[in-house]
Amino acid sequence: MSSGNSIESVLHETRSFPPSAEFSAQANIKSQEEYQQMWQRAKDDPAGFWGDMAENLDWFKKYDSVLEGDMPETKWFSGGKLNASYQCLDRHLDSWRKNKAAIIWEGEPGDVRVLRYQDLYREVCKFANVLKSLGVETGDRVTLYMPMIPELAIAMLACARIGAPHSIIFGGFSSEAIADRNNDAQAKVVVTADGGWRRGKVVPLKANVDGSLDKSPSVQKVVVVRRTGCDVDMVPDRDYWWHDLAEKASPDCDPVELDSEHPLYILYTSGSTGKPKGVLHTTAGYMLGTTMTSKWVFDLKEDDTYWCTADIGWVTGHSYIVYGPLSNGATTLMYEGAPNWPDEGRFWEIVEKYQVNIFYTAPTAIRAFIKWGDDWPAKSDLSSLRLLGTVGEPISPDAWMWYHKTIGQERCPIVDTWWQTETGGIMLSPLPGVTATKPGSCTTPLPGVVPDIVTEEGESLGDNQGGLLVMKQPWPHMLRTLYGDHDRFLDVYFSKIDGCYFAGDGARRDEDGCYWIMGRVDDVINVAGHRLSTMEVESALGAHSAVAEAAVVGFPHEIKGEGICCFVTLKTADGTDELKKELIAHVRTQIGAIATPDQIRFAAAVPKTRSGKIMRRLLRDIAAGKESVGDTTTLEDYSVLASLRAEDG
Ligand code: PRX
């Protein structure tokens, strides 16, 4: 935050790209009037609006009321009964879609699998029966720590079918991180694979799970998919091969009729303290949100091939590879591996090979594509593309223009979608047939989303004044709690600005009502589109015997957006290069490869205010190589600053 009440915004971008008449004519939402009318109705009469939208779901029992209560304690569709796997599978089987491709999957080595809706249905039923046979009951939590293979989507939908909330842990997390999450969720079963392919190498997933189990006493059984054929230890009566169990399982499994507010999943995300937050989403609201936003924002059509490049380990994959697209009966493409394997043209070959129409990726990937050069996309025919999307961090106008010209060939609208693990689905985004897009802006709120920009005191700010982004009205797909810690839920999101959901981002709204996200205002950094708490890395470093204290900040990084810079004071040891390497390895063991520090800087002390708070703003300036211009009069020890600058990582 800057001085005064508002945040200073420096970006001034005036280019604007309205959709073509052809695109608008075929779009699911066609005109500004249509959008305005939907948005106004959802604001004035949320129950009426979302009640109408709920016709898009299949209900075993219709709800008694659409919305009860107000933020933060809301209940959506009380009295209703439904099942998320039924939305994604069964309801498509009575139509021609039964033989439509639900998932087109390509493994990194080039192997391909296509699961039609019927195939996916059978596999999901079988695995739901497997889970039941292992003692999983409705309400039990199941951890999924898997590569990007169809079994991950199958396991998710199988959990949903029996009402066992899944907790997916991204494959880049370490054994320690798996144990923390298993314990917090009290998971009963873990589903994993022997390994997954990444840049031609095997990521040892089962071995990582093994390393977590002596610290995860709640886990009783482990199911292992054979993916890479690498050696794994299988413990009798605890570890089972997926194929052994699924082979014997029945392909029929009735979906459990679940309450609207039945938990669908927990997904851990970083907050501004060391302990990850278990964001909990529930069935009806989440399914409605992901179903409608997929239709509106990605303009899904029956014959589209849709590809979201995220990993299902993050919320983007939950909402926009699995639940949203499948609920709409779409064809969703899944790719297992790295974008530069065997070479930097891989993504574009996939686009051409499957004639991908809608492509959704992250700014960090776009920056990598730019660096790799235009020759790679030029080798493939990208003419099938009709719509592009981005998510995860602010996109610079330059990267946006490159995406527009080189990938979209100036033909495809770009939807820059702002949302969060907590929001469950897209909140601010262009509608591709309606909105004039602006490079770097996520533009306007979707129907049902009522944002504002406010001061720390909660006063609304005017046009082009930077402030805090809040939501003033509840929406169906918002998180309901942090698993096992409702007080933290209330504190983090609802105590800062009275009556509002506090997103943790700074933003401004321009004179056209378009939103420009300026980044996090808390101690969360965004590394390659992944949220990481600086405190999480600090506590990992603090657990090393040589470390007296650590202060961690982000700094601008060409590809990752933000890199991780750690200022470390040692107890007694010398600050050698060996120790730097050891500390980097230590953070990887404690959290995982995604938290690998880019810089370790040894320091005599870290600068603190008189009240003992680490002066992160100063450290950020030092990490970025900028001379600090801020007010340092509250610094505890001036000499510390000079020595920190001298240490060049
Ligand atoms: O800071 C915002 C940034 O990512 C944060 C949410 O991270 P996560 O929960 O991991 O979810 C990422 C995928 C939904 C936000 O608080 N962010 C996300 N999308 C955008 C963005 N920043 C700018 N523009 C976006 N389109």
For helices 175-185 and 577-590, angle between their N-to-C axes, nearest 10 degrees: 30
**Ligand 1 mean position, distance from CA 393 (Å):** 5
Q: Residue 348: how many CA atoms within 13 Å on its side-chain side?
A: 23
**Ligand 1 mean position, distance from CA 532 (Å):** 12
| Residues within 6 Å of ligand 1 by CB | 269, 315-316, 391-394, 416-421, 442, 503-505, 517, 520, 526, 531
pLDDT in the model for residue 440: 95
Top mutation candidate among 269, 417, 526, 532 for ligand 1, by most atoms within 8 Å of CB: 526
Looking at residue 30, its amino acid is K
pLDDT tens-place string over residues 560-609: 999 999 999 999 878 899 999 999 999 999 999 999 999 999 988 888 77
| Closest of 440, 579, 420 to residue 515, by C-alpha | 440
Domain architecture of the chain: domains with CATH: 544-646 (3.30.300.30)
Number of Cβ atoms within 10 Å of the Cβ of 462? 11
Report phi then psi at 448, rounded to 5.
Answer: 95, -5
Top mutation candidate among 268, 446, 514, 517 for ligand 1, by most atoms within 8 Å of CB: 517
pLDDT < 70 positions in the chain: 1-11, 627-649
| Closest of 537, 494, 151 to residue 312, by C-alpha | 151
| Closest of 597, 552, 545 to residue 570, by C-alpha | 545
Q: Whose CA is nearest to atom 5 of ligand 1?
A: 420
Cα distance between residue 305 and residue 489, in whole Å: 37
Looking at residue 132, its amino acid is K
For residue 314, the ligand 1 atom closest to its alpha carbon is 10
pLDDT in the model for residue 649: 40
Q: Whose CA is nearest to atom 18 of ligand 1?
A: 392
**Pair of tokens at residue 505:** 């981002």
Contact (Cβ atoms closer than 8 angstroms) between residue 565 and residue 538: no
Contact (Cβ atoms closer than 8 angstroms) between residue 566 and residue 573: no
pLDDT tens-place string over residues 303-340: 999 999 999 999 999 999 999 999 999 999 999 999 99
Report phi then psi at 527, rounded to 5.
Answer: -105, 115
For residue 503, the ligand 1 atom closest to its alpha carbon is 16
pLDDT in the model for residue 632: 47
Q: Whose CA is nearest to atom 25 of ligand 1?
A: 418
Q: Where are the alpha helices (DSSP H) in 67-147?
A: 84-88, 117-133
**Ligand 1 mean position, distance from CA 461 (Å):** 22
**Ligand 1 mean position, distance from CA 303 (Å):** 29
User: Angle 66-70-73 (CA atoms, 0-180°, nearest 5)?
Assistant: 95
Q: Whose CA is nearest to atom 21 of ligand 1?
A: 393
pLDDT in the model for residue 10: 60
Cα distance between residue 582 and residue 554, in whole Å: 20
pLDDT in the model for residue 145: 98
pLDDT in the model for residue 5: 52
